[in-house]
């Protein structure tokens, strides 16, 4: 149960190989092995939408194993949205099912001559005609494949109309809302004429010591379910951030022109959603939290609409960033993105960007295909989604990604898009949190809260607590620059390991101090696989993963000049108890110096030769 399948879509052939133990020890699995393979197989001249790009699926080392939310799988390729590192993780049940078929990783190469889907079952990979799926959305595709095979337990990942049309920020969907969302992995899949991958396995993952693993799971279950982080997630899911960012003054408003909204936002409350729209909870493989929301719209224009979601990303993105306080509009927009296969993070950011351009008079209805892009407009939010999928009006430009759209619009429009390395920043505004700001600046796939956001910075933990947790004291003041390089470094190592193991970050110390971390990972890995790794060895593996990603970026021309934040971050917060907070250039540059030094990179952000030698990068099998 430790195999990679190299799938050539052009010739419709499969080459199955064992995963070398050295590669396991150095990168574990999931995002780790994906990163190694991507760096080895894709070069700086590779066209993200060309057949020479690869799309790699990688289940974590613990995915599908008994544990606390061992559900994750990573999708990696060169990104068509940024032209840089593309990688996105997904929960749900597909990762575990893929492992039960006998495969841990799939490397998809070439381009099919006809629309295909892959049917993977018990060690076999078949190429199936997908022409009957070509007019279906993501929900319909999954239903059709299960019906055709007569098996409701088949797990499917697929693209919708957006991916088939090559929209640069299209994603891969599983279930009703699980998404490999960011960096355009759906566009890469579509460029290969691959509409879906279906998996059904009856095999088992070999466990090194099943009795010990059960004891570990029982211990970790008790540990996790007693925490406040678990309780909050099980009730509110990610939407708890709607309330937290508002009370702490950093929800972000109107394309980050403000740190807080002055109107409308009070209606977007997690309690309101739960009371009015939620029907039940849903969960991922092996997770006790059930943080996903099933909802139904009881009245209004969208009466009867049912789906799974939304997450904070969409609520804050269409909410405070676009000035919309209508739950029905946000739920419809979320539902459409899931059906069409559009990344919610990019769609919300692009909408807010265009709304600011419209507000400033840089674009007009003549440019937008007749849409009035007023702040908060439901017609604008839904209309832009439809335009993107149909490639008409402003959507025709957006479908190429914001970079190409800005070139076409001109008029200094690019300066209004808040991004890092081409990927739009989150809906909230973290300029008052120095470690989190550093994390945005240096995140390996572009602006990202799931790569290295030091979420614990928001709790102002005492230094003695952070020293016990991370090995070094971290100042409790979010606004100080001192010591925040370690906070960012430690967090990105924790996140790299979670992705390599297939563990949901919301069950780790990334979210709350009482959840899973390095010590717990050591226990789970040894019981499940027999690999005996110390916390320090895990830290080195995590650093190896992150440095390999950095090498990918360096090869693409990324350096210190790209490890920055949008100009808006150097302007003061406008509202709330911490109005006036901003990023100062000189202290931030010194913080960046210290961060590079921790990694063993030079002052231009290039990994030093001695660092590569220490991490044995280039020596894996």
For 90-119, write each residue's pLDDT tens digit: 999 999 999 999 999 999 999 999 999 999
For 47-96, write each residue's pLDDT tens digit: 999 999 999 999 999 999 999 999 999 999 999 999 999 999 999 999 99
Does the structure show a pLDDT above 70 at 389? yes
Report in angstroms the alpha-carbon separations of 378 from 328, 344, 371, 569. 9, 16, 11, 28
Residue 282: CB atoms within 10 A of its CB come to: 17
Structural domain count of the chain = 3
Q: Where residue 123 sits, what CATH number does that domain have? A: 3.60.9.10
In this structure, the answer to whether residues 313 and 462 fall within a common structural domain is no
How far is the C-alpha of 46 from the C-alpha of 262, rounded, in Å? Answer: 46
Average pLDDT over residues 171-189: 97
In this structure, the answer to whether residues 140 and 100 fall within a common structural domain is yes
Q: Does 235 map to a domain?
A: no
For 471-496, write each residue's pLDDT tens digit: 999 999 999 999 999 999 999 999 99
Does the structure show a pLDDT above 60 at 264? no
In this structure, the answer to whether residues 504 and 596 fall within a common structural domain is yes
Pairing of β 105-109 and β 55-59: antiparallel
Does the structure show a pLDDT above 70 at 366? yes
For 442-454, write each residue's pLDDT tens digit: 999 999 999 999 9
User: Counting every residue, how long is the chain?
Assistant: 621
**Which tokens in the block code for residue 497?**
């390991």
In this structure, the answer to whether residues 442 and 581 fall within a common structural domain is yes
User: Would you place residue 249 in the very low, low, confident or very high pLDDT band (cuts 50, 70, 90)?
Assistant: confident
In this structure, the answer to whether residues 609 and 464 fall within a common structural domain is yes
Q: Does 47 map to a domain?
A: yes
Residue 436: CB atoms within 10 A of its CB come to: 26
In this structure, the answer to whether residues 259 and 157 fall within a common structural domain is no
For 8-60, write each residue's pLDDT tens digit: 999 999 999 999 999 999 999 999 999 999 999 999 999 999 999 999 999 99
Q: Does 246 map to a domain?
A: no
Q: Does 508 map to a domain?
A: yes
Give pairs for 156-159: CB < 8 Å, separation 24+.
156/94, 156/196, 156/197, 156/198, 156/199, 157/90, 157/94, 157/196, 157/197, 158/117, 158/133, 158/195, 158/196, 158/197, 158/341, 159/186, 159/189, 159/190, 159/194, 159/195, 159/196, 159/341
For 604-617, write each residue's pLDDT tens digit: 999 999 999 999 99
How far is the C-alpha of 413 from the C-alpha of 400, rounded, in Å? Answer: 15
In this structure, the answer to whether residues 302 and 380 fall within a common structural domain is yes
Pairing of β 124-129 and β 116-121: antiparallel
For 502-531, write each residue's pLDDT tens digit: 999 999 999 999 999 999 999 999 999 999
For 297-347, write each residue's pLDDT tens digit: 999 999 999 999 999 999 999 999 999 999 999 999 999 999 999 999 999
Residue 300: CB atoms within 10 A of its CB come to: 13
Q: Does 529 map to a domain?
A: no
In this structure, the answer to whether residues 188 and 269 fall within a common structural domain is no
In this structure, the answer to whether residues 418 and 489 fall within a common structural domain is no
Q: Does 417 map to a domain?
A: yes
User: Would you place residue 263 in the very low, low, confident or very high pLDDT band (cuts 50, 70, 90)?
Assistant: low
In this structure, the answer to whether residues 60 and 135 fall within a common structural domain is yes
In this structure, the answer to whether residues 419 and 545 fall within a common structural domain is no
Does the structure show a pLDDT above 60 at 265? no
**Residue 107: predicted pLDDT:** 98
Q: Does 404 map to a domain?
A: yes
User: Would you place residue 246 in the very low, low, confident or very high pLDDT band (cuts 50, 70, 90)?
Assistant: confident
User: Would you place residue 1 in the very low, low, confident or very high pLDDT band (cuts 50, 70, 90)?
Assistant: low
Q: Which residue has the tokens 């211990």?
A: 219
Give the predicted TM-score (pTM) of the model.
Answer: 0.97
Rounded mean pLDDT of the chain?
96
DSSP track, 68-99: SSB--EEEEEE-TTTSSEEEEEE-SSHHHHHH
- Choosing from 200, 219, 237, the residue where a domain stops is 200
- Choosing from 404, 423, 442, the residue where a domain stops is 423
For 549-601, write each residue's pLDDT tens digit: 999 999 999 999 999 999 999 999 988 888 999 999 999 999 999 999 999 99
Does the structure show a pLDDT above 80 at 439? yes
The domain containing residue 97 runs over which residues? 3-200
DSSP track, 331-354: HHHHHHHHHHTB-HHHHHHHHHHH
How far is the C-alpha of 402 from the C-alpha of 400, rounded, in Å? Answer: 7
**Residue 511: predicted pLDDT:** 95
Q: Number of C-alpha atoms within 13 angstroms, CB side, residue 526?
A: 15
In this structure, the answer to whether residues 172 and 47 fall within a common structural domain is yes
Q: Where residue 412 sits, what CATH number does that domain have? A: 1.10.569.10
Q: Where residue 503 sits, what CATH number does that domain have? A: 1.10.599.10
- Choosing from 365, 400, 423, the residue where a domain stops is 423
Q: Does 408 map to a domain?
A: yes
Does the structure show a pLDDT above 60 at 164? yes
């Amino acid at each position: 149960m430790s195999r990679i399948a190299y799938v050539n879509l052009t010739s419709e052939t499969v080459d199955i190989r064992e995963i070398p133990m050295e590669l396991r020890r150095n990168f574990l699995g999931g995002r780790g092995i994906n990163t190694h393979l991507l760096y080895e197989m894709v070069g700086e001249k590779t066209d993200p939408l060309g057949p020479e790009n690869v799309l790699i699926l990688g289940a974590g080392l613990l995915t599908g194993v008994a544990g606390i939310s061992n559900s994750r799988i990573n999708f990696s390729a060169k990104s068509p949205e940024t032209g840089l590192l593309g990688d996105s993780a997904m929960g749900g049940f597909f990762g575990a099912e893929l492992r039960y078929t006998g495969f841990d990783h799939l490397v998809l190469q070439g381009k099919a001559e006809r629309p295909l889907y892959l049917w993977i079952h018990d060690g076999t990979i078949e190429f199936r005609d997908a022409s009957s799926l070509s007019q279906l959305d993501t929900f319909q595709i999954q239903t059709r494949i299960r019906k055709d095979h007569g098996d409701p337990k088949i797990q499917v990942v697929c693209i919708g109309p957006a991916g088939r049309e090559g929209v640069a920020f299209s994603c891969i969907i599983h279930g009703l809302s699980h998404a490999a969302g960011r960096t355009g992995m759906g566009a890469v899949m579509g460029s290969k004429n691959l509409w879906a991958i279906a998996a059904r396995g009856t095999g088992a993952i070999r466990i090194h010591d099943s009795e010990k693993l059960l004891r570990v799971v029982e211990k970790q279950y008790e540990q996790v379910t007693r925490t406040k982080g678990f309780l909050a997630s099980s009730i509110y899911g990610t939407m708890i951030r709607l309330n937290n960012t508002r009370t702490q003054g950093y929800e972000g408003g109107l394309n980050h022109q403000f740190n807080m909204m002055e109107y409308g936002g009070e209606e977007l409350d997690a309690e309101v959603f739960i009371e009015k729209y939620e029907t039940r909870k849903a969960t991922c493989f092996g997770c006790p939290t059930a943080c996903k929301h099933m909802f139904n719209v009881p009245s209004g224009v969208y009466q009867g609409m049912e789906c799974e979601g939304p997450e904070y990303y969409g609520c804050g993105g269409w909410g405070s960033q676009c000035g919309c306080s209508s739950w029905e509009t946000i739920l419809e927009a979320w539902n459409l993105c899931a059906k069409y296969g559009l990344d919610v993070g990019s769609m919300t950011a692009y909408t807010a960007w265009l709304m600011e351009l419209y507000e400033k008079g840089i674009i007009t209805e003549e440019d937008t295909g007749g849409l009035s892009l007023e702040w908060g407009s439901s017609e604008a939010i839904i209309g832009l989604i439809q335009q993107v999928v149909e490639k008409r009006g402003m959507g025709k430009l957006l479908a190429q990604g914001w970079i190409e759209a800005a070139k076409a619009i001109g008029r200094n429009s690019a300066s209004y898009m808040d991004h890092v390395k081409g990927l739009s920043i989150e809906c909230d505004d973290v300029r008052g949190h120095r470690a989190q700001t550093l994390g945005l600046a240096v995140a390996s796939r572009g602006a990202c809260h799931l790569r290295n956001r030091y979420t614990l910075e928001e709790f102002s933990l005492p230094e003695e607590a952070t020293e016990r947790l991370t090995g070094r004291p971290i100042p409790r003041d979010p606004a100080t620059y001192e010591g925040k390089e370690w906070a960012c470094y430690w967090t990105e190592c924790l996140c790299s390991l979670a992705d390599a193991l297939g563990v949901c970050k919301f069950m780790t110390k990334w979210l709350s101090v009482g959840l899973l971390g390095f010590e717990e990972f050591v226990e789970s890995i040894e019981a499940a696989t027999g690999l005996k790794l110390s916390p320090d060895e895990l830290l080195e593996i995590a650093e190896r993963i992150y440095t390999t990603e950095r090498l990918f970026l360096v090869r693409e021309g990324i350096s210190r000049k790209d490890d920055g934040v949008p100009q808006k971050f150097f302007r003061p917060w406008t509202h709330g108890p911490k109005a006036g907070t901003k990023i100062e250039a000189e202290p931030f540059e010194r913080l960046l110096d210290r961060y590079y030094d921790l990694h063993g990179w030079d002052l231009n952000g290039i990994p030093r030769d001695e660092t590569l030698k220490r991490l044995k990068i280039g020596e894996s099998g």
